[in-house]
C-alpha cells in the first residue's frame, strides 16, 4: 500500500477544484448587472466616431451613412473653426481635432531644446480648440 501512485488522485482533485471555481465564477458573471458592450456609456455622450482624412463631401456622407454622429480629424489651428462649420453643415459633430505640430512632441516629453516654445504652441492649440467649440 505504501507504493500507491497518488498522481492520479491529485489530478482528479485539481480537476474538481477547477470545476468548482469555474461554476462559482460563471455564477458571479450571471449575477452582475447588464452593461452594454461590457462597459458603462461614456459620460460626454459620444457613442461612435469616425476618423476622417479629409472633409470631402463623400467622406462626410459616408460617415452619416454609417450612422456616425461624431468625426475626428487632423488639421492646423487656423482651420479649426472652418472644420467645425463644415462638419456641422453635414449634420455631424467634431469629437476631436488633432494637430501633428504639437502631438507627441519629444521636445516636451524629453525636455529637449525648444521645449518651452513647444509648450506655448501646445497651449495656443488648446485655446484655438476652445475658440472653435471643441472641448
Note whether 20 and 59 are same-domain residues.
Answer: no
What 8-state DSSP symbol labels residue 135? -
**Cell numbers of 61, please?**
456622407
Same domain, 14 and 45: no
Q: For the chain, list the strands marked E by DSSP.
A: 49-51, 70-74, 93-98
pLDDT-derived band at 29 (thresholds 50, 70, 90) equals: very low
- Same domain for 48 and 81? yes
Q: What is the mean pLDDT of residues 15-29?
A: 64
Average pLDDT (35-41) is 60
CA 70 to chain CA centroid, nearest Å: 13
Q: What is the pTM of this model?
A: 0.62
Residues 16 and 70 in one domain: no
Q: Is the pLDDT of residue 40 over 70?
A: no
User: What whole-number distance in Å separates Cα of residue 76 and Cα of residue 127?
Assistant: 13
If one counts the domains in the chain, the total is 2
Q: How many residues does the chain have?
A: 135
Both 79 and 125 in a single domain?
yes
pLDDT at 6 over 90: no
Average pLDDT rounded to a whole number, residues 44-58? 84
Averaged pLDDT, 61-69: 92
Q: Which of 16-20, 53-57, 70-74 has the lowest mean pLDDT?
A: 16-20
Contacts of 101 (CB under 8 A, 6+ apart): 76, 121, 125
Amino acid at each position: 500500500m505504501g507504493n500507491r501512485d497518488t498522481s492520479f488522485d491529485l489530478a482528479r482533485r485539481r480537476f474538481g477544484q477547477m470545476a468548482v471555481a469555474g461554476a462559482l465564477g460563471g455564477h458571479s458573471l450571471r449575477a452582475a448587472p447588464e452593461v452594454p458592450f461590457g462597459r458603462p456609456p461614456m459620460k460626454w455622450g459620444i457613442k461612435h466616431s469616425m476618423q476622417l482624412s479629409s472633409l470631402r463631401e463623400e467622406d462626410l456622407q459616408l460617415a452619416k451613412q454609417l450612422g456616425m454622429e461624431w468625426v475626428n480629424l487632423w488639421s492646423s489651428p487656423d482651420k479649426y473653426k472652418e472644420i467645425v462649420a463644415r462638419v456641422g453643415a453635414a449634420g455631424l459633430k467634431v469629437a476631436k481635432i488633432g494637430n501633428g505640430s504639437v502631438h507627441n512632441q519629444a521636445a516636451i516629453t524629453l525636455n529637449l531644446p525648444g521645449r518651452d516654445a513647444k509648450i506655448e504652441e501646445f497651449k495656443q492649440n488648446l485655446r484655438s480648440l476652445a475658440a472653435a467649440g471643441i472641448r
